[in-house]
């Protein structure tokens, strides 16, 4: 098995893991939309939960399928994990601080678009960290949407369809990630890997 095949299979495991999180957070955004736009109708929650769960289960199955090819625990992977946690922590700190400032200044309606903008921007460094160009485009689209929708939708920054847009972007990206993962591990590659693993 070549290094290229090993790296490719490892990337499938990482994509599936990422799709799991995008499915979860996309579902959260759409649940918020249902609460605000549809007054929290039970049928809306049910449909959103069903679609989100389907995406999550598929991503979990793909991740389990390629689990054997996940990156090994080494100094490089631990460094990536540390940087990821720092970026993620910074994202939430900025959202909490900005949300409190806006609320105290009487601009509570702007909390959601600002949070969406911060979330979108945090994907930009993650794109380079994980060598995932798709993260860059997702972050760019979400950031532009967060800036634009308060001025384009009739409800302004409080328009609930802003939450819907964020949720659909995340779900759409989860779908793209899953579509890029083969439904079955290539036979020749899997056989070679199995032989190598059995040698230890």
What would the pLDDT profile of 161-184 be if each residue is shown by its tens digit? 999 999 999 999 999 999 999 887
pLDDT value of residue 68 = 79
Q: Is the pLDDT of residue 194 over 80?
A: no
Of residues 176, 187, 183, the one with CA closest to residue 5: 187
Of residues 183, 172, 182, 186, the one with CA closest to residue 19: 172
> What is the rounded average pLDDT for all residues in the chain?
88
Provide mean pLDDT across the span 2-24. Answer: 82
- At 8, is the pLDDT very low, low, confident or very high (cuts 50, 70, 90)? confident
For residue 89, what are the domain limits?
A: 3-198
**Residue 192, class by beta-carbon neighbours within 10 Å (0-12 exposed, 13-18 middle, 19+ buried)?**
middle
Q: Is the pLDDT of residue 11 over 90?
A: no
3 state DSSP class of 131 = coil
Which residue is associated with the tokens 């090993």?
6
Structural domain tally of the chain?
A: 1
DSSP state of 158: G
Q: pLDDT for 81-139, tens place per residue?
A: 999 999 999 999 999 999 999 999 999 999 999 999 999 999 999 999 999 999 999 99
Q: Is the pLDDT of residue 185 over 80?
A: no
Q: Is the pLDDT of residue 192 over 50?
A: no
Provide mean pLDDT across the span 64-78. Answer: 81
Instruction: List all residues 6 or more positions away from 19 whose beta carbon is below 8 Å from its beta carbon.
Output: 55, 58, 59, 62, 174, 175, 177, 178
- At 41, is the pLDDT very low, low, confident or very high (cuts 50, 70, 90)? confident
pLDDT value of residue 186 = 63
């Amino acid at each position: 098995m070549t290094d290229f095949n090993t790296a490719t299979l490892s990337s499938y495991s990482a994509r599936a893991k990422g799709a799991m999180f995008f499915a979860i957070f996309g579902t959260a955004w759409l649940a918020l939309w249902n609460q605000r736009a549809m007054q929290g109708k039970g049928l809306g929650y049910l449909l959103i939960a069903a679609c989100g769960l389907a995406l999550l289960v598929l991503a979990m199955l793909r991740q389990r399928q390629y689990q054997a090819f996940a990156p090994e625990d080494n100094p490089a992977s631990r460094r990536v994990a540390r940087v990821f946690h720092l970026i993620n922590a910074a994202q939430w700190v900025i959202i909490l601080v900005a949300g409190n400032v806006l609320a105290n200044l009487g601009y509570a309606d702007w909390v959601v678009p600002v949070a969406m903008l911060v979330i979108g921007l945090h994907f930009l460094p993650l794109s380079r960290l994980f060598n995932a160009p798709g993260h860059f485009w997702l972050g760019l689209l979400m950031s532009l949407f967060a800036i634009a929708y308060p001025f384009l939708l009739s409800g302004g920054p409080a328009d609930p369809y802003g939450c819907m847009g964020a949720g659909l972007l995340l779900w759409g990206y989860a779908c793209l990630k899953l579509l890029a993962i083969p439904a079955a591990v290539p036979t020749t590659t899997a056989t070679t890997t199995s032989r190598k693993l059995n040698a230890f």
